[in-house]
Structures are given as structure tokens and as C-alpha cells.
Structure 1
């Protein structure tokens, strides 16, 4: 039976309002046997060894860490889906998708994104081929690289403010490609002079190219020439969903706490070691 609020005692009205609020929040708690909340998180489909698609399955270091964290959040049933990086950013910018991994912290460039607790650090380095750097001192970045063609992964430009300014001024060329593999093949063939990316990504992909015998005879020798600042990878959340994901704040709170615990107790470090080297 429904009663007008005006005819109810104040205490009863407050109780009803409180109960309604509790019911509205119930999906977040997912307690008492309620079905898990279905969540979709997108991951970069071509950023090995951190996040990539292989045989229809998302793999990589970040994927492994995020999967381990999500096992500790049983009230959420999360599907990890692959997406080309630039398309994934658009999905967050338009509020179409909930979350994407693993963006670096870029609040000015991506005002539509909120960031999780940092998950792990990546060391940015510069690799160059031998002919391009012959006779160059290469002590100062980016000044000693003026005039060169610097490749980078589209969506991951992170060479620093001075690098960005040099590219805009035409002192060097900043050339995007879709993936580490494409950039490294261009570097080995002399179509770019240097390549800017995470050290582990470069070493991993070079190893795969060698294993798959895709490095042609006569390929140029390449080497690391500079170590730049480290970057932290995150889980990025849309800020333009207009309430489409009512569980967002609860999810963020839980995920952040779990990642902090995983870092503190060494689980993330062990996960990375296991991924790279296997057991033992």
C-alpha cells in the first residue's frame, strides 16, 4: 500500500528514504548472493610485452596484473577486450567505455580521463641505428638528435616538453607508427633513425623479430643511446559517462587499494618476473 509522504511520521519518511538509498546502492555491494556486476575494460591490443592480443586472448604484463587484482573483486565480473590504442582513447573521451589500460599520466592532454593508482614503472629509452648516430656525441636529449627522424608509437608520444617543442619547430621529425614492431622494422631498414619507447618493449619485440626470422640480412645495427624518465602505467577511467557506470567510484576505490597492496607485498614484482622468465 502506498501512502503520501506528507501523511507519514517524519521518522518513517526518513527510514523509507534511507531504505531507498540502500537499495540504489545495492548493486555496488553485490552482497547477499547478488549477481556480479558486468564490467568491460579495454586494453591496448598491440603493446607487447605489456598489453597485446594473441590467439584471440588478451595477454601481457599489465593484463596479468589486472587479472590478478580483479580476482580479489568477486562482486565484479570483468571482461578484458582488445582495442587499437587510439580507438580506445576515443572510447574514453566520448564516454562510450568505462576503462582502458595502460595510459601514462597525461591530465592536460586527456582531461576526459581519471587515473588509477600507478601500476608499475616503464623506463623510456631511445634506440638508434648505427649510421644515423655516427659521429654524434649523444649526451643531451633532444638537442643531440636534431635533424633525425624519431619514431614513436601513435598515442604514446612521451619524449618530454623539449622534444615536443623541437618537433613542432622542425628541428627533428617525430614520426608515429601503429606498433613497436612496425617502428623497429623501420629502424632496422633505415626508414627512421631512432625509436622512442619503453626499454622492455623494445628488447621484447627485437627478440621476437629474431625468433621469427623477420630481421633481414643487411639490417642495420641498433643500440640504446639514451635513458629518459620513467613513466607509470595506469588503468584509465572515463570522466564523460554522465552516470552510465554507477559503480565507477566503488570500482576505483577497490582497485586502487588492491594495487597498493600488490605493490607493497611484492606481488606485482613477482608477477612481472614470472611473466618474463617463467617459474624459477
Structure 2
């Protein structure tokens, strides 16, 4: 009673100061009345007391939420199944306490959980044949109507279910011998037993069942109420109000003394059995130790012989590995975990100008340290990082530079422990020269397309401006024409300015600044940004993310890439279609896929979509995907497109992990 009076005093003082300092807020919010239903006989969570007052843990929680939000609640206590039906039909707005389940989540929306509840199996004290839920097969079992316990028992064959209006009736049915067991809330069941001094007649068997979260439930149409509930629940947990309410109602949990005694005896029996087993094992071990020593001595002799044979095989294996390394086209060096050279092939020795004496030396003492960063070597050895097809320049000769392409891969044991790294590199100078020649030819071809596209795109607004300007002297007296002239010329100049900005982005993309970021967060932000366009076409979004996916690239540039691709997917989609966003890891890459069910792209067009000024849109310029392609390349990534006319398109973007 002292705790109850303390709680009431705290709540009264809280209301007094809240009303004094925020009177306008209280007055405005007080106009809101939420109809809340609850079980009329589910103590100590919610019940009608002997004096007819609706009270309980859930009621105190809702009162605290009312104080926090200023919302007034009207309580409707009733049998549980009627409370559920009342919320479904809209007679009430919420149920103040409902256990969460997957089946219920499909029907209702839940607030943040504020309590963890569990079910228990109640049987008569002298019942020795029911110990777990499987033992209920062929028995009569009482449950409360609408309780989640009905779902737990649906898998038990031959069980006869007896439904009651509340748990008190179910407990009484068990005591009267009308049922063999009762399944219900452990706390509520024990409350009734203690209140009626019947705890000596009934016991709880087995482990807690269906441990689930407990929360406020609403129908989807009232989902906006959950924001207020969640904020208030969070606040009362922070300021200590929730802890006081919890201690008031659940300060001590009832556990029958007989059950405690049985558990104590069980632990003692287990302890004695384990002690006997340990002593027996020690005696057996002492007796068998001498025989085992003799056996081990003989085994050691066999092991020594096997070891000599394996050493010979190891030498042959090392010789074979060296021959494989020497036959490779590229230069190969292997390092041990300490960064010392363990193997080097002939091609690497010839290219670096060293001999076989470098085996056992530090990597820093080799010429490769001049073109491969030491931090990458340490990352491969210590963090098992993989580096594939990286390019660098080696100024080995005073008069000319050599282009080198290298890869680095950690060497791991079967258990995944790092024991070294393999370095593979080759001179790509001549290949680079050939690529530059091919790129130059390609740039000349692209330049022709670019010039033609610029001329076409600039000619249209210039023609419009010229036409309006020529008409200006003749129609200058017309106020409507002057207004039309001002709007149209401004629009065409803005169009020219946008085209020039796109051309600048295409020709001089900003240098990337790679960071590691979460693709999940980036995609969530983009979805929020494009939500109006998605809603305009009534598109469904399906997210298939393999966990929290990370990528290493320029975050803003990749977000621009994703926005461009998703916008194209939205524009290509049919009304009511579906967009699928995927993200996963593949080897050392982070992969993002954007899939739509739209009109698709023909085979003759799919190879041209990344070319500047190529577009099928009536008012498009054709630079968006060209800029997207350049941004992906700038971040050392790749972008590919698969499509089928009438069935949709999949755009795949690969980035560094």
C-alpha cells in the first residue's frame, strides 16, 4: 500500500507541475479522447477490483502515457475475445496490452514493446504424467478465448480444447477436475492462485512457453497513434516512471515452495552423480595410464617414421610449387605472416633484377616496395584484405616509367587463419599504350557524336529564341505577347544552361573521395527522396538486402548514380508495378541490383544507353546515364544492364567492398 500511495503522489505532483507550466498544451491535447479496451479479469495486468475500479499494470502504464502526451483515455473493460472484436469493428481505438505474434502482426500494428510475457502449463499438484506440452496429447486443456495459447496447442494431436472467458475460470476448471491442465499467462495464473490461497493445489511444469513481447495494439487505420505511444513509452522508461509501476505490480514473483524444494533436490542429485562419475573416471584413468604410456611410446616411433616420409614429400612439394611458379606468365612472390619472402619465381627475379638470395628477406628490401604501398601488404597479411588488378607506375628507369598491374591475395589455412600473402604483378606498359590508342580512336568517334548531339540540342532552343525575337518588333505592343516572350525565352535559356551544366558534369566529373558507408542507409534516403514519384505510379518496393551491406566509394556520387538509375526504372515501370532493390556481396565486390517490370530495352538499343545524347524519351537530353557510367568508372566500379522488351530491366552495379 505504501508503494501504491507513493506512485499516486508522484503522478499527482507530475500532473500539477505539467498543468502549471504547460496549460495551453494540456488544454489542447485534452480534447483528444482515445477509446482503449482491455481484459476485465486479467490480473495483475488489468482487471476490475472488488470496488469496481479498473486497475492493473497495463492501466497504470496507459495512465502514465496519458500524463506524458496529454491524451485522455476512455477504458472499456470486457472479456478478452470481446475486446479484440471491439477493436476490429472500430468500437475502440486500441487494446492496451496484447502479446505480439506473427499471425497478429498481419492484422494489427503494435507499439514498441514494454513488457515480456510468457505462458505456463498449470496442472494439479499430484499430477505426475504431464511435464511438457507434448504430454497434453489426448487431454482436456483449458485456455482463455482469443488467447495465443490456442495457437500453441494446434500442433498437439487429439487434444480437447475448453475455452473460458478468463483465466480465473480456467484455473477453477482445473481445480474442479473438469480439465487435465490449463495453459495461460504465468503471472496471471499465479496471481489467482495466491489471491484464493490455492497455490498448494496447483503447480507449474515445464519451461516457460511462447516468451513474447507485450505492447499496445491498434488497427492499421490508427497506426499514427503508435508514434505518440512509442514516444511516451520511451520517456516513462527514461524518467523512472515505468520502473516504479513495474515494481508496484511485479515486485515479487510467486513460486511454490514444493517446486523450489524439488529443484534443490534435483540439483543435489545431479551433483552427487557427477561427483561419483568424476571419482570413477580418476580411478579408471590412473589404472589405464601405465598401459597408455606404453602404447604412446610405440605410436611415437610410428609417428617419427611417418614424419620422415612426410618431410621428403614436403621437399618434393616445395620443388613442384617452385616449378609451377617459374612456369607462370606473370611475376609471383609469396610472403609469410611476418612479411618475409618465402618464394619468388624466375620471371619476378629477372624483372626486378634480383636473385634467389632474396628468399627470407623483408618485403621492404625488394624493389617492389617502390611501387606497392606497404600499408596494402600489411592489410593483406593482418586483415586478410584482397587487392585485385590495381594499377601503379614504377619510375625504375631514369628516362621512362613502367606501368604495372598487380594483385594481392591472403594465404589462409583451412580454419581461416592468415599465414601469408601472394603477390602477382606484370608489366602493362605496352598494354596501356595500346589501350590509349584505342581510347583515342573511341574518343574521336564519341566526339563526333557529342558535337552532333550538342548541335541538335542547342539548335532547338536557339531556333525558338530567334523566332520570338523576330516577332518582338511586330507584337511588342501586345502585353500578352511580352509576357509570353519573357516566359518562353527564359525557359529556353534555362534549358540551354541545364544542357551546359550536364555537359560539364559529363566532361569533368568530380574526382571521387572514397569512404566506407552503409548501402542500406543510402537506399533508404533515396526511397524517401523519390517517394512522391513512386507513389505517383503506385509502385511496390521489394527490398532484398543480405544484411547490412557496406561499400567503399564516393558516397554522394554513388547516391547520384542510384537516383539516376531508379528514376529511369520508375519512368519505365507500368502503373501498379514492382521495383526490386537488391544488395549483396559477391567475392570481393559489393553488388547492387535495380530491377523493374517495365517496358524493357531492345537489343539494338541496350548497347547505346550509356552513350551521350542517346535517349528514347520525348523530352530527354541523353546525358543522365552517360554521367552515371562515368561516375561508376570514377569509383573503380562496373555497371551492366540486362533487359527484355515487355518484361523489364535489371541494372547491376559492382563496387569495392
| TM value normalised by structure 2 | 0.32
Tell me what 2:235 maps to: 261
Matches within 5 A, 1:104-143: 104-109=99-104, 111-131=106-126, 133-134=127-128, 136=129, 138=131, 141-143=132-134
Between stretches 179-188 and 93-102, larger displacement belongs to 93-102
CA distance in 2 between counterparts of 1:32 and 1:85 reads: 32
Does structure 1 residue 101 correspond to structure 2 residue 65?
no
CA distance in 2 between counterparts of 1:56 and 1:130 reads: 33
The secondary structure found in structure 1 opposite 2:195 is: helix
The secondary structure found in structure 2 opposite 1:117 is: coil
Give, in angstroms, the shift of residue 126 of structure 1.
Answer: 0.9
Matches within 5 A, 1:221-240: 221-226=201-206, 227-239=208-220
CA distance in 2 between counterparts of 1:142 and 1:157 reads: 14
Give, in angstroms, the shift of residue 137 of structure 1.
Answer: 6.7
Does structure 1 residue 180 correspond to structure 2 residue 167?
yes
Give, in angstroms, the shift of residue 109 of structure 1.
Answer: 4.6
Q: Which of the two has greater helix per residue?
A: 2
Q: Deviations over 1:185-206 (max 9, x none)?
A: 1111111111111221111111
Match of 1:272 among 246, 250, 260: 246
Q: Deviations over 1:19-70 (max 9, x none)?
A: xxxxxxxxxxx85953521222112111111011223321011111111121
Give the count of matched residue pairs. 226
The secondary structure found in structure 2 opposite 1:36 is: coil
Tell me what 2:154 maps to: 164
Q: Deviations over 1:132-152 (max 9, x none)?
A: x33x272xx422222222211
Matches within 5 A, 1:70-81: 70-74=66-70, 76-81=71-76
CA distance in 2 between counterparts of 1:159 and 1:82 reads: 22
Give, in angstroms, the shift of residue 153 of structure 1.
Answer: 1.2
Does structure 1 residue 144 correspond to structure 2 residue 135?
yes
- Which protein shows a greater Rg? 2
Give, in angstroms, the shift of residue 276 of structure 1.
Answer: 4.5
CA distance in 2 between counterparts of 1:151 and 1:83 reads: 19
CA distance in 2 between counterparts of 1:206 and 1:46 reads: 14
Q: Detail structure 1 runs of 4+ shifted over 6 Å in the superposition.
A: none
Contact 1:92 1:113 in 2 (8 A): no
The secondary structure found in structure 2 opposite 1:235 is: strand
Contact 1:41 1:97 in 2 (8 A): yes
Between stretches 257-266 and 115-124, larger displacement belongs to 257-266
Contact 1:101 1:234 in 2 (8 A): yes
Contact 2:39 2:83 in 1 (8 A): yes
The secondary structure found in structure 1 opposite 2:99 is: coil
CA distance in 2 between counterparts of 1:80 and 1:191 reads: 34
CA distance in 2 between counterparts of 1:110 and 1:117 reads: 13
Distance 1:33 1:276, change over 3 A: closer
Structure 2, unmatched stretches of 5+, are 1-23, 253-657
Give, in angstroms, the shift of residue 106 of structure 1.
Answer: 3.3
Q: Deviations over 1:168-214 (max 9, x none)?
A: x42x222211112111111111111111112211111112222xxxx
Does structure 1 residue 194 correspond to structure 2 residue 181?
yes
CA distance in 2 between counterparts of 1:56 and 1:222 reads: 28
Structure 1, unmatched stretches of 5+, are 1-29
CA distance in 1 between counterparts of 2:200 and 2:242 reads: 36
Distance 1:263 1:197, change over 3 A: farther
Tell me what 1:27 maps to: none
Match of 1:154 among 139, 145, 155: 145
Q: Deviations over 1:216-271 (max 9, x none)?
A: xxx993111022232222111123x5xxx6xx51x321211221333355532331
Match of 1:68 among 47, 52, 64: 64
Distance 1:224 1:39, change over 3 A: same
The secondary structure found in structure 2 opposite 1:275 is: helix
Tell me what 2:363 maps to: none
Work out which structure has the larger RCO, using CA pairs closer than 8 Å and 6 or more positions apart in sequence.
Answer: 1
The secondary structure found in structure 1 opposite 2:196 is: helix
